[in-house]
Amino acid sequence: MKLSLVLPTGLALAAAAVFTGGNTTEGYALLGHSLDLNQRDFRVFNGFTNTGANNNTTPHPEFPGATGAVMAIWKGAIEWGSRLHGTGSGDTTQSGGLGSGGANFDPSFQGEANVVGNIGDNICSNISGNSGGVLAYVESTGSGNWRMRFYTGWNWADGPGSIGFSQMDIQSVACHEYGHSLGLGHSGTGAATMAPSTSNGQTGPRSIHSDDIAGVQAIYGAASASKPIITSISSINIGSITINGSNFAATNEVWFTREDFQGNGTPLKVLNVPSTNGGTEITVNVPSNARGGDILVRKTGLNGGNALSNAWPFDVTTTQCPSNEIVCTNLPNSTGVPGTLSVFGSQNIAMNDTILAAGSLPAGEFGIFIYGQGDQLLFVSDGFLCINGSQFYRLDVVQVDMFGQVAYALDLNDLPPGGEISAGETWNFQLWHRDTPAGSGHANFSNAVSHTWCE
């Protein structure tokens, strides 16, 4: 069964000339509009109702924070990007990798929306029914404002690999429809993504054809030699990243993906960010309301598509210091429950504000906080020593108060030899304490908790 990929309303004539009327002309067709830099955003309102549309629950490092139909649509749009999206991986059905346009054109994924939005909000959403063979459509004013609708009446599949014969591929249809959004009509080249129809089970349109590439380059121009390029993103500090690449301007905008359901699709921008090392490096603080998504760099003050870089995947969790974790839970002490341990502080090593706090302990007993990097489960006295016995370090003697609690300010500048702590390191902490109420000579331990310091 052939199914139509419908035309943008308001632009039906331009595209219909290719689609119908026995036109034998090969090649792409232009709708006559283009997306300027403030319309490069797209969002997804995931209202697909069939199971196959959202059963890909496996995260992919190149599409951080997205699964299911959201990831599939992100892949469909990003295929039009100027160069490979990260490594280009994420689609095993195409050999060339995702990001094939080679034009002065790059989309900016802006997360999830929870509204259909108006034309111009650039949201991909769903609509009930199947409209007599129509899979999806783009509504556009013809001036570069758009929104995309997928009919839920089809047996949609989110991939990520091949799909069943009875299924319709979200990624392929998204790639086609986004082609309309950016200004392409239907192509007379049958193998093109912008060909007017597709079939169940097909994934070929996920990968744009040389004819589609010629089309996007006809609208936006082949990628300029001066266009900024991102080639990697690295992070060693809490909350900041270094963007590596080329052609960055003296001052730049760095575009992040905004948190889901926030804003109007406008990328989350950090303004006036300088580059260093001859325009090859940018260091920027990550805004607190950024989510995993894509980063793009725009040369400040320039408007053409050649002023905006390719989109590079960015996992916001890589800029966050790992959270504390309970390494082991101990046996009850004489209070009837296990001793607890919490590690407080900013995790910023320069702040030197780490506090070790233990509770649920026998009042008045003496103890020692210990720490190390290995872990084990060694029964000692009445509980478990959870820190590797051959490599742990002891802090000062403390005394449990009348409430069964004890706290200790860890001074990173005054640690035992061999137990020095550096940024990027994770250490495990535990309290050993005497437990006289349990019997003469008895002792026990609190839970053990890990804590990581960063710069």
Residue closer to Zn ion, measured from CB, 213 or 268: 213
| Shortest spacing between CB 154 and Zn ion, in angstroms | 15
Q: How far is CA 455 from CA 238, 256, 312, 422, in A?
A: 6, 22, 24, 9
Q: Which is nearer to Zn ion, 5 or 295 (CB)?
A: 5
Toward Zn ion, which CB reaches closer, 126 or 360? Answer: 126
Q: How far apart are CA 149 and CA 128, in angstroms?
A: 10
- Residue (157 or 184) nearer to Zn ion, CB: 184
Residue nearest to Zn ion (CB): 5
Least distance (Å) between residue 190 CB and Zn ion: 14
For Zn ion, give the closer residue by CB, 77 or 241: 77
CB-CB contact of 336 with 344 (8 Å): no
Provide the terminal-to-terminal Cα distance of the chain, rounded to the nearest Å.
58
Q: How far apart are CA 432 and CA 341, in angstroms?
A: 11
Nearer to Zn ion, 5 or 387 (CB): 5
Of the ranges 3-11, 89-97, 249-257, 310-318, which one interacts with Zn ion (CB under 5 A)? 3-11
Judge contact between 298 and 252, C-beta under 8 A: yes
Shortest Cβ distance from residue 39 to Zn ion (Å)?
A: 19
Binding mask 423-442 for Zn ion (x = CB under 5 A): --------------------
Q: In whole angstroms, how far apart are CA 331 and each of 83, 311, 380?
A: 56, 51, 11
Long-range CB pairs of 191-195 (<8 Å, 24+ gap) are 192/28, 193/79, 194/28, 194/29
Question: 160: cis peptide before it, omega within 30°?
Answer: yes
Which of 145, 352 has the CB closer to Zn ion? 145
Could you tell me the smallest distance in angstroms from the CB atom of residue 157 to Zn ion?
Answer: 19
Pairing type for strands 123-127 and 146-151 reads: parallel
Q: Contacts with Zn ion: how many residues (CB under 5 A)? A: 1
CA 291 and chain centroid, separation? 6
| Minimum separation from the CB atom of position 292 to Zn ion (A) | 30
Secondary structure string (H, E, C) spanning 74-87: HHHHHCCCCCCCCC
Query: Nearest approach, Cβ of 182 to Zn ion (angstroms)?
Result: 12
Stretches 2-10, 53-61, 75-83, 166-174: which one binds Zn ion (CB under 5 A)?
A: 2-10
Give min distance, CB of 347 to Zn ion, in A: 50
Report the nearest approach of Zn ion to the CB of residue 207 (Å): 16
Q: Is 29 in the site for Zn ion (CB under 5 A)?
A: no
CA distance linking residue 307 with residue 220, whole number of Å: 12
DSSP-derived 3-state class of residue 52: helix
d(CA 195, CA 345): 58
11 vs 78, beta carbon nearer Zn ion = 11
Residue 5 sits in the site that holds Zn ion (CB under 5 A)? yes
Complex with Zn ion: residue 5 or 31, whichever CB lies closer: 5
Q: Measured from the CB of residue 181, what is the shortest distance to Zn ion in angstroms?
A: 10
Whole-angstrom Cα Rg for the chain = 28
Select the span of 1-9, 303-311, 383-391, 412-420 touching Zn ion (CB under 5 A).
Answer: 1-9
- C-beta closer to Zn ion: residue 205 or 305: 205
Q: Are 253 and 239 in contact (CB under 8 A)?
A: no
Q: Which residues pair with 281 in a beta bridge?
A: 244, 276
- Provide the minimum distance between the beta carbon of 4 and Zn ion in the complex, in angstroms, as a whole number: 8
The span of 5-13, 152-160, 299-307, 312-320 binding Zn ion (CB under 5 A) equals 5-13
User: With respect to Zn ion, which residue has the nearer C-beta, 191 or 355?
Assistant: 191
Q: Are the C-beta atoms of 168 and 36 separated by less than 8 Å? A: no
CB of 54 vs Zn ion, minimal distance in Å: 24
One DSSP character per residue, 72-127 reads: HHHHHHHTTSSS-STTS-S-TT-SS-S----BS---EEEEE-SS---TTS-EEEEE
User: Which residue has 């046996």 as its token pair?
Assistant: 331
Q: Which residues bind Zn ion (CB under 5 A)?
A: 5
